[in-house]
Amino acid sequence: MKSFAIIAPDRAMRPAIMERIDNLTKPKGSLGRLEELALQLALVQQTLTPRLSKPANILFAADHGVIEEGVSVSPKEVTWQQLGHFAKGGAGINFLCEQHGFRLVLVDAGVDYDIPAGAGIIDMKVRRSTSNFLHGPAMTVGEFGLCVERGAEVVDMVHADGCNIVSFGEMGSGNTSASSMWMHILTGIPLKDCIGAGAGLDTPGVAHKYDVLSRSLAGYKGSDSLVERLAWFGGFEMAMALGGMFRAAELGMIVIVDGFIMTSVMAAAFALYPEIRHYAVFGHCGDESGHRLMLDAIGARPLLSLGLRLGEGSGAVCAYPIIQSAVDMINKMDTFAAVDVTKYF
């Protein structure tokens, strides 16, 4: 698999950044998470005046072979139909990207359909759908590595256009099953607690999903390699998002993490490149069962809790104005030294 040079930001500037934040015209610490975010962004960008530029939401779409086992209420064709819908506008992620000034980048990572050329969708298809991981690996380790490389390529593209903050979204029927498997592998949380309703399973449906995933886990015949286990149970869109996160951090970009599926991807990123933590901002805690458990397991604190479970990058994009507020705070607020106000605490 392609390797990345992800390093922790130089902390030499931290005292100067904190002095700036602590001497803004407010009681010390009174702007809470905004102050923490401002420190994080200033350290990543190595400046007292961080900025956000040309935000992008990269949405990877792919199908999952395990859907053949009835683990989702969404039929497979919804993936390509919704991807086409994104390209035309009018979906949830479209209005959010428009509202918050995000470029929406659509990528076919492995949709089980031949997307027509010229539809505004980048063709990086590995193949039409992963295999059914109940009976064998969803993808080979080689395919996993190819996905990582292609995800990094998309980030290179938006970065070359001036983007320095990126979120990732996904579309793919059955992808909560793959994410539940990653969550269990990465955190050790019992598989039963990693499984939820996905797009809307009822109680018997969730029980069936647990049965399928339990048998899949028991049938694993690979090695102890983390990459092999991620490939065996993952999705093409998840592996591409992983590569995108790696490359974004390597380039010094901020990564806004979306919901359950993208949190499982960032959990994998933490395991493989721990220093990526410095570049991650967790947008929200979603309504999918297990998301809060996973966030707690990896020590992540989300900015929002709105009951979202749409995916697509929606929660990450919704969180963007809070990050912008942190940037505006450090750049636009006066310091006590600059105005005639007595410092107070």
Task: State the average pLDDT for the chain.
Answer: 96
Question: For 253-300, how does the pLDDT look when each residue is reduced to its tens digit (9 = 90+)?
Answer: 999 999 999 999 999 999 999 999 999 999 999 988 799 999 999 999
For domain 11-51+328-338, the CATH architecture is Orthogonal Bundle (1.10)
Q: In sequence order, which residues have a C-beta less than 8 Å from that of residue 3 and are 6 or more positions away?
A: none
Task: Average the pLDDT over each of 42-56, 66-80, 217-231, 288-302 and give the range with the smallest value.
Answer: 66-80
H or E segment to which residue 169 belongs = strand 165-171
Domains of the chain: which residue ranges? 11-51+328-338, 56-322
DSSP string, 313-338: THHHHHHHHHHHHHHHHHHHSPBGGG
Name the CATH topology of 56-322: Rossmann fold (3.40.50)
Q: Is-catalytic flag, 312?
A: yes
**Per-residue pLDDT tens for 118-157?**
889 999 999 999 999 999 999 999 999 999 999 999 999 9
Give tens-digit pLDDT for 181-208: 999 999 999 999 999 876 678 889 899 9
343 is written with which tokens?
Answer: 């410092």
- The mean pLDDT of 170-177, rounded to a whole number, is 94
- Please say if the pLDDT value at position 345 is more than 80: no
* Set 69, 237, 288, 312: catalytic member: 312
pLDDT digits (tens, 9 = 90+) for 92-118: 999 999 999 999 999 999 999 999 888
For 277-286, 313-322, 335-344, which range has the lowest pLDDT when averaged over its residues?
335-344
Mean pLDDT of 82-100: 96
Compute the distance between CA of residue 253 and CA of residue 156 in angstroms, rounded to an integer: 11
